[in-house]
Amino acid sequence: MAKKRPQTKAKPQPIDGEIPVVGAREPCPCGSGRRYKACHGRAAAHAATELVQRPFEGLPGECDWVALRELVPAATAGLTLREGLPEGVPSVTLATVLPMAWPALRRDDGSVLIGLQNDTASGDISRDLADTLLRALEAEPGTPVQGRRAPADGPRLQDLLDPEGAFEPVVHSGFEFWVPDAENATPEVAASLERANAAAIPTVKLAGVDAAYWCETPEKNHLRWVMPHPEEQLLDALARLHAAGRSSLGEGTRLVGSFRAHGLTVPVWDLPSGTSAEDVEKPAAEFAERLAAALAVREPLTPDERRARGGLTNRQVTLS
């Protein structure tokens, strides 16, 4: 028979806000006698691992946030803070990737760059990025900001960014935005830029529709279009168009499936290798009109449409 655990009188426990974070297997500082992970660390661990399905929901340009996080190699976008820029910080810019995969960088002139495509320590990318942003605003000019696990009760991007601020990504052909004067960069920086540029897939943001990105690969080109509609409704609409032979973007193009990324769906089209971003602007705008009409239909899917939907569902790939 197992021995009974001796009954011990627990010490008075301070309020949660006074409990410091210690090692998971260490005694909880509250004096309960239990390990931290089984006591006051339980809520923190849960907050650190719970996945937020749509971390960018509520931000201006949610679809573009998803695209820059998952699809676009080199891009930047200016950020507008809810409380305005602190003294000594001339600008805050979101970037897909920063040198050395830094989470953030405070430049010599005080401006701040935030990297979007970094690994995050919790299940809430928005909270992790907000923590990085706050630390970057206070960092010494000329220094990078290292990653860490954000406090479970810390603010999210939705708390820090102006909800009325514009979010206008600029797609770059390379990573010259890393340094103010790329032409006069040191040999080490020039070599790093050359390696990064060589790995970047040529990408262009379409001008006529929201959050659609053309990219060029060695075998064929693609259009990847992040859409805000609920997944089930969008798949039904795509299936209606696919079954009717109206889901392509012109001769030689084909809707081949979709990605799931951060709670949104990203339909993907194969394009002939000679099809440029400019070539697909008009077909994409026309498709947007067909899609809007299909989204408004509420009748059940026909047998042909159900088969088309099944094919599209089987060709979904989850990115996050």
pLDDT digits (tens, 9 = 90+) for 92-111: 999 999 988 899 999 999 99
- pLDDT higher for 169 or 121? 169
What average pLDDT does the segment 284-307 reach?
98
Q: Which of 164-168, 186-190, 260-264 has the lowest mean pLDDT?
A: 186-190
Report the chain's mean pLDDT, rounded to a whole number.
88
Furthest-apart CA atoms within the chain: distance in Å: 78
For residue 316, name the pLDDT band (cuts at 50, 70, 90). very high
In this prediction, residue 10 carries a pLDDT of 39
pLDDT at 83 over 90: yes
pLDDT at 11 over 90: no
> According to the 3-state scheme, what is the secondary structure of the chain?
CCCCCCCCCCCCCCCHHHCCCCCCCCECCCCCCCEHHHCCHHHHHHHHHCCCCCCCCCCCCHHHHHHHHHCCCCEEEECCECCCCCCCCCCEEEECCCHHHCCEEECCCCCEEEECCCCCCCCCHHHHHHHHHHHHHHCCCCEEECCCCCCCCCCCHHHHECCCCCCCCEECCCCHHHCCCHHHCCHHHHHHHHHHHHHCCCEEECCCCCCEEEEECCCCEEEEECECCCHHHHHHHHHHHHHCCCCCCCCCCEEEEEEEECCEEEEEEEECCCCCHHHHHHHHHHHHHHHHHHHCCCCCCCHHHHHHHHHHHHCEEECC
**Helices 277-295 and 231-243 meet at what angle, rounded to 10?**
110
Q: Which of 36-50, 171-185, 242-256 has the lowest mean pLDDT?
A: 36-50
In this prediction, residue 24 carries a pLDDT of 54
Percent of the chain with pLDDT over 90: 72
Percent of the chain with pLDDT over 70: 87
For residue 120, name the pLDDT band (cuts at 50, 70, 90). confident
